Amino acid sequence: MPESKVTPVQAEGRKASGAPRRAPHQLIFAPRLTALGLCAILVLCCTSARAAEPERVSLTVGTRPLSEVPWKGFGVQWSPYPWFELTDADWTRVEERLAYMKPPIARVMTRAYKYCEGYDAAGKPIYAWGNARMKRMERLLDFCEKHGVEVILGEWDDPASPEDRQDPAADKLKPYGIEETDPRWAVLICDMLEHFLDDKKYTCIKWFNLINEPNGGWSACADFAKWKKGIENLHAEMVKRGLDKRVGIIGPDANAQKDYWWLDLNVLQLAKQTAMYELHEYAKKEDVESGHMERVFALKRDYANRYDPAGRKKPFVMGEIGLVSGLGKDGKPVQPKGGRDSQPFIYDFEYGVWMADYNAQVARAGMDGTCAWAVDDAMHMQKNPDSTWPNLANVELKKWGFWNSMAEEIGHPEDAAIRPWFYTWAVMSRAYPAGCRMLEIPGCLPKGLRPLAARWEHGGTKHFSLTVINDSDTARDVTIAVPEAAWQSTVHRFHYFKDDRPADADGFPTVKQIDSGVDLSKGVAVSLPSRGVVVLTTIPISR
């Protein structure tokens, strides 16, 4: 996600479904109605009745995995709250919610000035590992370590960048002019990694991301040659210390389909240095509903498989996903306290369907995971000329989260509540844990229908998860069979529809029903009377 740049796209509302049709018994017949006219009316009535019937679809899950890499997970972007100091109560609430979600992977970004304050007279870096900023990072990493969350650690931009600084006066590193091609930056990063891995004993840090969206001007890079040199410097320093055996470099972290050629160059020129491929995309809802994103990602996955000799064995994830940002549906900033770079649908039921569909398309394309932008509104602030930060009077937030941990502070305690899209993200995160294998589902699909299936072998038991997403207003009755699962299973069913999404008092999803003795090989029925999501899993999911 650009730290400063906004994608000024006005979100569009859904089309109205039209006025309700008159029931057949309400038709008014004219006195001189001809036989031909009567026949026409009867045909129209029959056609209307047939149109009202759900579309019936039969699906069969295959045994072939969609990727040769074990699934990484439906994860999250979770920043260590660079702008605000959360209270212990805030932290506890965030941790309880993420503990329910069980995200298998998290993308966590920082900047070098937060832990390095320049150089001493001998030219050695001066580190400040114990400052308040790093304590927030440690609390976040403590959670990930405890809960088995795999961490992508990274730095937003080079130390000389003019981009976002929450506290410019505290940036004592900028005067040294360390740009992306400067080998000194690689030294700082590797010192940080060794501090976390060896001094703090974190085992959750598995990947490193050098520069957020380096293809964009907001990254202070926008130059593939410079980014490439930075990657080569970092890789060489990691090899020298043996860190390359412990932490893998990811790339290219490029955002926007028009710049996915950065992935092609990454594959062709930096395959040796890259352990995991990764992209970002903020999609139009039309591109999600139509299934366009799946086709785009399948091409990129195929490119990495084809032109990197080891590509099939490398994970490929979407490090940030969401729908395009913009103003609210009334043409005004998203309230309360939303800046221009906000997601206007986060409070709406539909966003939970779109994001579930987006997740499914990434997995169906043969990729290996996603990270939702973002966990919490309190993580990022919108820069504006009238900002009075840290005084909240004229501060605008980047509202993208599952909730807002600064809700009480801005005078809107209701904004701390869990939002609808948490529901589908949390259930899918738990139903498709790290290590599972996404399975092919052959056949053509009606527009807006997206099935997803996975096998997870855990503790000597073979589990299956199935998701059926109806990203349209057409009613569907789907039968989905898993021939491989020819035994009696207990299936947990979750519903996410506008008027049918069971949750407990705290907003955590609860199971719609539990069915025992289900033979998945014979097929299970899924009714989708409207836009919505149904998840079926043999993995027990409870609070």
Confidence bin at 392 (pLDDT 50/70/90): confident
In angstroms, the CA 126 to CA 411 distance is 40
245 and 127 inside one domain = yes
Residue 515 belongs to domain spanning: 56-64+441-537
Q: Is residue 531 part of a domain?
A: yes
In a domain, 449, yes or no: yes
Res 33: pLDDT: 41
pLDDT band at residue 391, thresholds of 50, 70 and 90? confident
Q: Is residue 330 very low, low, confident or very high in pLDDT (cuts 50, 70, 90)?
A: confident
As beta bridge partners, residue 116 has 127
Among 254, 274, 294, residue at a domain's last position? 274
Same domain, 60 and 127: no
Q: Judge whether 219 lies within some domain.
A: yes
Q: How confident is residue 20, by pLDDT bands cut at 50, 70 and 90?
A: very low
Within a domain: residue 318? no
Report DSSP letters for 282-312, one per residue.
EE-HHHHHTTHHHHHHHHHHHHHHHHSTTGG
More confident residue, 45 or 543: 543
Q: What percentage of the chain exceeds 70 in pLDDT?
A: 90
The answer as to whether 173 is a domain residue is: yes
Average pLDDT over residues 300-313: 98
Do 60 and 117 reside in the same domain of the chain? no
Are residues 131 and 241 part of one domain?
yes
In this predicted structure, what is the pLDDT of residue 166?
67
Q: What does the pLDDT average to over 334-356?
A: 96
Domain shared by 120 and 267, yes or no: yes
What are the tens digits of pLDDT across the range 42-87? 444 444 445 569 999 999 999 999 999 999 999 999 999 999 999 9
Dist CA 179 CA 230 (whole Å): 9
pLDDT, the chain, mean: 91
**How many CB atoms neighbour CB 487 within 10 A?**
11
State which amino acid sits at residue 161: S
Res 17: pLDDT: 39
SS3 state of residue 98? helix
Helix (H) or strand (E) holding 278: strand 276-283
pLDDT at 388 over 90: no
User: In terms of domains, do 60 and 123 share one?
Assistant: no
What burial letters (b/e) apply to 398-419, b meaning 16+ CB within 10 Å?
bbbbbbbbbbebbeeeebbebb
pLDDT band at 328 (very low <50, low <70, confident <90, very high): confident
Q: Give the pLDDT confidence score for residue 235 in this predicted structure.
A: 98
pLDDT for 259 equals 92
Residue 349 has pLDDT above 90, yes or no: yes
pLDDT of residue 52: 67
Residue 49, Cβ neighbours under 10 Å: how many? Answer: 12
Residue-level pLDDT at 1: 66
Asked if the structure places residue 254 within a domain, the reply is yes
Q: Are residues 112 and 251 in the same domain?
A: yes
Flag whether pLDDT at 39 surpasses 60: no
Residues 60 and 125 in one domain: no
Give the domain-ending residue among 226, 249, 274. Answer: 274
Examine the pLDDT at 237 and tell me if it is beyond 90: yes
CATH code, domain with 516: 2.60.40.1180
pLDDT at 294: 98
Q: State yes or no: pLDDT of 14 exceeds 90.
A: no
Total of domains in the chain: 2
Would the pLDDT of 105 be above 90? yes
Tell me which of 255, 274, 293 is where a domain ends.
Answer: 274
**How does pLDDT run across 490-504, given as a tens digit for each residue?**
999 999 999 999 999
Do 122 and 265 fall into the same domain? yes
Which contacts (CB < 8 Å, 24+ apart) does range 458-465 have?
458/433, 463/436, 463/537, 463/538, 463/539, 464/61, 464/489, 464/520, 464/537, 464/538, 465/431, 465/432, 465/436, 465/535, 465/536, 465/537, 465/538, 465/539
202-230 pLDDT tens trace: 999 999 999 999 999 999 999 999 999 99
- Shared domain check, 212 and 160: yes
Residue 335 pLDDT greater than 50, yes or no: yes
Q: Residues 111, 186: one domain? A: yes
Averaged over 276-298, what is the pLDDT?
A: 97
pLDDT at 36: 44
Identity (one letter) of the amino acid at 277? Y
In a domain, 495, yes or no: yes
The H or E element that residue 396 is part of is strand 396-397
- List all residues 6 or more positions away from 128 whose beta carbon is below 8 Å from its beta carbon: 115, 116, 117, 134
Instruction: Name the band, by pLDDT with cuts 50, 70 and 90, for residue 2.
Output: low
Q: Is the pLDDT of residue 22 over 60?
A: no
Give the residue with greater pLDDT, 456 vs 26: 456
Looking up residue 144, the CATH number of its domain turns out to be 3.20.20.80
Q: Is the predicted pLDDT of residue 395 greater than 50, yes or no?
A: yes
User: Per the domain annotation, does 409 fall within a domain?
Assistant: no
- Please give the pLDDT value at position 24: 36
Whether 8 has a pLDDT exceeding 80, the answer reads no
**160 shares a domain with 60:** no
In the predicted model, what is the mean pLDDT of residues 261-275?
98
